[in-house]
Structure 1
Amino acid sequence: MSRAIGRSLELYYIDGRPDGMLTAEMFNWTGHVLMAPRTQIATALAREEAAYAGIYLLLGEQDGEPLAYIGEGEDISARIRSHDVKKDWWTSAILVTASANKLNKAHARYLEARLIAEAKAIGRMPLENTVTPALPSLSEADIGKMEAFLENILVVLPAVRVDMFIQRVRSAPKAAIISTPTRPFTQPEPEARFVLENRKHNLTAFAVLEDGEFVVEEGSQARREWASAHMHGYSKLHAELKHAGVLTEDGERCTFAKSYAFQSPSAAAAVVDGRPANGTTEWINVATRQTYKEWEAGRIDAAQPDEALA
Structure 2
Amino acid sequence: MTAGSRGQSLELYFINGKPDGMLTAEVFNWTGHVLMTPRTQISEALKRPEAQFTGVYLLFGENDGKPCAYIGEGEDMSYRIRSHEARKDWWTQAILVTTQANSLNKAHIRYLEARLIEEARNIARVGLDNGTAPTLPSLKEAERANMEGFLDYLLMVLPAIGIDAFKQNKRPKLAEASKEDITSPIFELHTRKHDLRARALIEDGDFVVLEGSEARPEWGGKGSELTSYAKLHGELLGSGVLTIAGPKAKFTQNFAFASPSAAGAVVNGRPTNGTIEWKIEGSSKTYKDWEAERLEASE
Q: Hey, what's the Cα distance between the residues in 1 that align with 2:182 and 2:244?
A: 34
Which stretch of structure 1 is more off in the superposition, 188-197 or 150-159? 188-197
SS of corresponding position for 2:264: helix
Q: Alpha-carbon deviation of 1:176?
A: 5.9
Give the residue type in structure 1 aligned to 2:62.
E
- Equivalent residue for 1:149? 150
- Equivalent residue for 1:168? 169
- Equivalent residue for 2:40? 39
SS of corresponding position for 2:5: coil
Tell me the alpha carbon deviations over residues 234-275 of structure 1, each in whole angstroms, 9 at most, x when there is no partner: 111111112222111211211111001110000000000011
Q: Is 1:296–2:291 an aligned residue pair?
A: yes
Tell me the alpha carbon deviations over residues 90-118 of structure 1, each in whole angstroms, 9 at most, x when there is no partner: 11100000122100111111100000010
- Equivalent residue for 1:182? none
Q: CA 1:117–1:204 in structure 2 vs 1: closer, same or farther (change >3 Å)?
A: same
Q: Hey, what's the Cα distance between the residues in 1 that align with 2:144 and 2:120?
A: 19
Equivalent pair of 2:213/2:251 in contact (CA under 8 Å):
yes
Give the residue type in structure 1 aligned to 2:159.
P
Q: Hey, what's the Cα distance between the residues in 1 that align with 2:203 and 2:59?
A: 34
Which stretch of structure 1 is more off in the superposition, 210-219 or 186-195? 186-195
- Equivalent residue for 1:233? 228
Q: Is 1:222–2:215 an aligned residue pair?
A: yes
- Equivalent residue for 1:53? 54
Give the residue type in structure 1 aligned to 2:186.
R
Q: CA 1:31–1:188 in structure 2 vs 1: closer, same or farther (change >3 Å)?
A: closer
Equivalent pair of 1:125/1:240 in contact (CA under 8 Å):
no
Q: Hey, what's the Cα distance between the residues in 2 that align with 1:95 and 1:200?
A: 49
SS of corresponding position for 2:144: helix
Q: Hey, what's the Cα distance between the residues in 2 that align with 1:106 and 1:203?
A: 51
SS of corresponding position for 2:35: strand
Q: Hey, what's the Cα distance between the residues in 1 that align with 2:28 and 2:84?
A: 32
Q: CA 1:65–1:189 in structure 2 vs 1: closer, same or farther (change >3 Å)?
A: closer
User: How many correspondences in the alignment?
Assistant: 296
Equivalent pair of 1:232/1:276 in contact (CA under 8 Å):
no
Q: Hey, what's the Cα distance between the residues in 2 that align with 1:244 and 1:146?
A: 29
Equivalent pair of 2:10/2:28 in contact (CA under 8 Å):
yes
Which stretch of structure 1 is more off in the superposition, 229-238 or 216-225? 229-238
Equivalent pair of 1:193/1:287 in contact (CA under 8 Å):
no
SS of corresponding position for 2:127: coil
Of 240, 244, 252, which residue of structure 2 is paired with 1:249? 244
Identical counterparts, % of pairs: 57
Equivalent pair of 1:123/1:243 in contact (CA under 8 Å):
no
Q: Alpha-carbon deviation of 1:33?
A: 0.1
Q: Alpha-carbon deviation of 1:188?
A: 6.4
CA RMSD of aligned residues (A): 1.9
Q: Alpha-carbon deviation of 1:175?
A: 2.4
Give matches, 1:189-200, under 5 Å.
191-200=184-193
Q: Hey, what's the Cα distance between the residues in 1 that align with 2:205 and 2:87?
A: 43
SS of corresponding position for 2:101: helix
Q: Is 1:211–2:189 an aligned residue pair?
A: no
Of 240, 262, 265, which residue of structure 1 is paired with 2:260? 265
Q: Is 1:92–2:93 an aligned residue pair?
A: yes
SS of corresponding position for 2:6: coil
Unaligned residue ranges in structure 2 (runs of 5+): none
Q: Hey, what's the Cα distance between the residues in 2 that align with 1:138 and 1:4?
A: 26
Q: Hey, what's the Cα distance between the residues in 2 that align with 1:189 and 1:202?
A: 28
SS of corresponding position for 1:231: helix
Q: Alpha-carbon deviation of 1:119?
A: 0.3
Give matches, 1:117-156, under 5 Å.
117-156=118-157
SS of corresponding position for 2:69: strand
- Equivalent residue for 2:29? 28
SS of corresponding position for 1:115: helix
Q: Alpha-carbon deviation of 1:303?
A: 1.2
Equivalent pair of 2:182/2:203 in contact (CA under 8 Å):
no
Unaligned residue ranges in structure 1 (runs of 5+): 178-185, 305-310
Q: CA 1:21–1:190 in structure 2 vs 1: closer, same or farther (change >3 Å)?
A: closer
Which stretch of structure 1 is more off in the superposition, 281-290 or 118-127? 281-290
Give the residue type in structure 2 aligned to 1:95.
L
SS of corresponding position for 2:128: coil
